[in-house]
Amino acid sequence: MSLRINDIAPDFTAETTQGTIHFHEWIGDGWAVLFSHPKDFTPVCTTELGSVAGLYPEFQKRHCKVIGLSVDPVSSHGKWAVDIEETQGHRVDYPMIGDPELKIAKLYDMLPADAGASSEGRTAANNATVRTVFIIGPDKRIKLQLSYPMSTGRNFPEILRVLDSMQLTAKHKVATPANWQQGEDVIILPSVSDEEAREKYADGWKTVKPYLRIVPQPQ
């Protein structure tokens, strides 16, 4: 069965560019982003890994680890990282998983429908991990999952935006409206009664509808 939001993220042991990891142990008590790319030494993937490298300090500020994956071997990742830094201007300081036997790709359902049974003879169009993103919470449950086509690079600032939203919800019992950005007004969760909200928001809130109560973003 496919993984769904709120499922426990499958645990695994893997070889990475920073040594062997045990996934749940590696996550620890924080958040994590696991993202796959189709193939090393390809153009869109190079820009993506470089983008994440540039944003890596922002993920760290949010107590969120980042790890990449493809079905290339770790040795390939290491060589490719030189190209990424040269062309994108950012060094890849986060680990990259090598998954040539497709074990993790299958565990997380990262392969396209027409993928084969092994990585031999593969191209970026078949038998390669699609552009999948998982955000995993401190409870090791999947909080977000996205899949992009091979030809479309991802918007990683959007992944940061969603992470900000989820961390805000976990701390303050609020939701974020469409197109919300850090610092903008938020929505009090429907599960929070007016009585409970008054205790937290002494200055009140704007009631658009009984189910739509807007307050400034709490700090």
Catalytic residue IDs: 45
Q: Which domain holds residue 124?
A: 13-154
pLDDT in tens, 41-51: 999 999 999 99
The CATH number assigned to the domain holding 83 equals: 3.40.30.10
Asked if residue 82 belongs to a domain, the reply is yes
Q: Are residues 18 and 65 in the same domain?
A: yes
Pairing, β 64-70 against β 96-98: parallel
Secondary structure (DSSP) of 55-124: HHHHHHHTTEEEEEEESS-HHHHHHHHHHHHHHHS----S-EEE-TT-HHHHHTT-S-TT--SSSTT-BT
In whole angstroms, what is the distance from residue 169 CA to residue 44 CA? 33
Question: In this predicted structure, what is the pLDDT of residue 4?
Answer: 95
| Nearest residue to 73 (alpha-carbon basis) of 121, 16, 117 | 16
Q: Are residues 64 and 142 in the same domain?
A: yes
In whole angstroms, what is the distance from residue 1 CA to residue 135 CA? 19
The CATH number assigned to the domain holding 182 equals: 3.30.1020.10
pTM to 2 decimals?
0.91
- Looking from the CA of 124 toward its CB, the CA atoms found within 13 Å total 15
pLDDT in tens, 173-213: 999 999 999 999 999 999 999 999 999 999 999 999 999 99
Q: Would you state the structure tokens that stand for residue 90, as one six-digit string? A: 């950012």
Domain count, the chain: 2
In whole angstroms, what is the distance from residue 117 CA to residue 174 CA? 44
